[in-house]
Structure 1
Amino acid sequence: MTHSVTDCSCVEQLTTTVKEMQKERPESVIYQTSLMSALLSGVYDGTTTVADLLKKGDFGLGTFNQLDGELIAFNREVYQLRSDGSARAARPDQQTPFAVMTFFRPQYQHRFTGPVTRAEVHQTIDQQVSSDNQFCALRIDGLFSHAQTRTVPCQHRPYKSMPEVLGKQPTFEFAQRNGVLIGFRTPQYMQGINVAGYHEHFITDDRQGGGHLLDYQLDHGTLAFGEISKLVIDLPGDSDFLQANLSPENLDSAIRAVES
């Protein structure tokens, strides 16, 4: 069968249109470097830089090499939440042993006009995204009545396991502070690969404080969230990762202990 010039032009035009649509609405993907079970086992050094992360997403969380504080990213800005409760902009060359990133494209929005607990926020999401088998990215901008956080202090070799390290973690309380919460809801079958359930980080509106959230109450604010159904993982190839025990017997309970 032969095609006329007109037919070819139509095909080319359709291909161009599809490509343009894909640019406007690209597929939502979670990019992850390393595994949560590796971090749990003391694999605290990676080669992925902050600049590398921003090629994979504009929104996410994680930690820094030597477990030096918490990482929070949104609006293509990355911050280091430090063990004294402070925050600072991360350098492009800083490296991470574990991070989760995506290009944030929420499908749902909910405005809270009165106080809600962390559990009530999660219930709002769970009612909309009813399947626990899908990932979900979420963001809250608002006034927090209180936000309880923790940040991990910088570690030095020989590294201890994460449960040992977090026995001495400092915690902080932020009261009546405007800020940004970003997080992910991860399916239960991903425990060990990621953190099953909700994993959230917080930073104040002046970008001077924050940390990994242990609990919070929102006074009022806006929740935006969306489903994600694709995951890409980069696995390290260094000796620390290759020799780590990534499936200990107490994996589930250990992760729940360090993340809650």
Structure 2
Amino acid sequence: MCDFVSDCSCEDQLRETVSLLAENSAEKVIYQTSLMSALLNGVYDGSTTVADLLKKGDFGLGTFNQLDGELVAFDREVYQLRADGSARPASPEQKTPFAVMTFFAPEYEHRFSSTATREEVHAVIDRIIRSDNQFCALRIRGQFRSVQTRTVPCQCRPYRSMPEVLGNQPVFDFQARQGELIGFRTPQYMQGINVAGYHEHFITDDRQGGGHILDYVLEEGTLSFGAISKLVIDLPQDREFLQADLNPDNLDEAIRSVES
């Protein structure tokens, strides 16, 4: 046992160790390129490449230039989920007008051994991370009874707004498939900057199909998740972004219509 003098030394060493661990641990940060409100307004071309995104995180979601399908990233792999319901690896030089990335470092894990709806999965997260003022990154690896997705077809200029584009969105129904769910829970005060609430993408275990999730039922699997309290946004400087109407009167309604 330490005596009084040594005890002080032990405490000092402990403080130094904790401080050193904090300095060396990866900071939990969400990196975002552009704004959801810009995407709604038809700003579908960005300059950020897939290679750029992987410098900011190993996990995330978004879309590609010309609104050409959905983007999903995990384990430092990035995939393009296409309008025909298929998936393929994205190339490093492909560009995105909107994406959200982080280095995934989950704090919590929950095993589902029986069927759970999307709402029941979200309830598990909400019970642990109670404050809506924090971001949350989540991942599910498992067997899904069903997953309903949609993807966005590639657009040509002159670009229509996103609500107009999604009026004829392709919808797909994956039945009895294993796969990966990648998502974020975003605070309500971030609506327009990002997508408030839960935003999730799905890809099959063979990496051949997927899309933006509309609904799902999980058969069994493992949910891992963690809170994030820091956001970094890279705002475009091109003319289309600078001239876009980023605060329309129906912003909340428009986002809910394209995400649900």
TM-score bucket (shorter structure): over 0.9
Partner of 2:88: 88
Deviation string, structure 1 residues 129-161 (Cα, Å, up to 9, x no partner): 000000000000000000000000000110000
Q: Where in structure 2 are the equivalents of 1:8-47 lying within 5 Å?
A: 21-22=21-22, 24-47=24-47
The answer to whether residue 120 in structure 2 is matched with residue 120 in structure 1 is yes
One-letter code aligned to 2:210: G
Distance 2:79 2:205 in 1: 12
Residue 17 of structure 1 deviates from its aligned partner by 6.5
Q: TM-score normalized by structure 1?
A: 0.93
Distance 1:130 1:22 in 2: 24
Deviation string, structure 1 residues 190-216 (Cα, Å, up to 9, x no partner): 000000000000000000000000000
Partner of 1:108: 108
Residue 25 of structure 1 deviates from its aligned partner by 1.8
One-letter code aligned to 1:256: R
Gaps of 5+ in 2: 1-12
Residue 21 of structure 1 deviates from its aligned partner by 2.7
Residue 19 of structure 1 deviates from its aligned partner by 8.4
Q: Where in structure 2 are the equivalents of 1:56-95 lying within 5 Å?
A: 56-95=56-95
Distance 2:232 2:199 in 1: 18
Q: Secondary structure at the match of 1:225?
A: strand
Distance 2:189 2:238 in 1: 26
Partner of 1:55: 55
Q: Where in structure 2 are the equivalents of 1:53-202 lying within 5 Å?
A: 53-202=53-202
Residue 109 of structure 1 deviates from its aligned partner by 0.3
Q: After the TM superposition, which parts of structure 1 deviate over 2 Å for at least 4 consecutive aligned residues?
A: 16-24
Q: Secondary structure at the match of 2:253?
A: helix
Q: TM-score normalized by structure 2?
A: 0.93
Cα root mean square deviation, aligned = 1.6
Deviation string, structure 1 residues 17-73 (Cα, Å, up to 9, x no partner): 778635652110000000000000000000000000000000000000000000000
Q: Secondary structure at the match of 1:254?
A: helix
Q: Secondary structure at the match of 1:53?
A: helix
Aligned length: 248
Gaps of 5+ in 1: 1-12
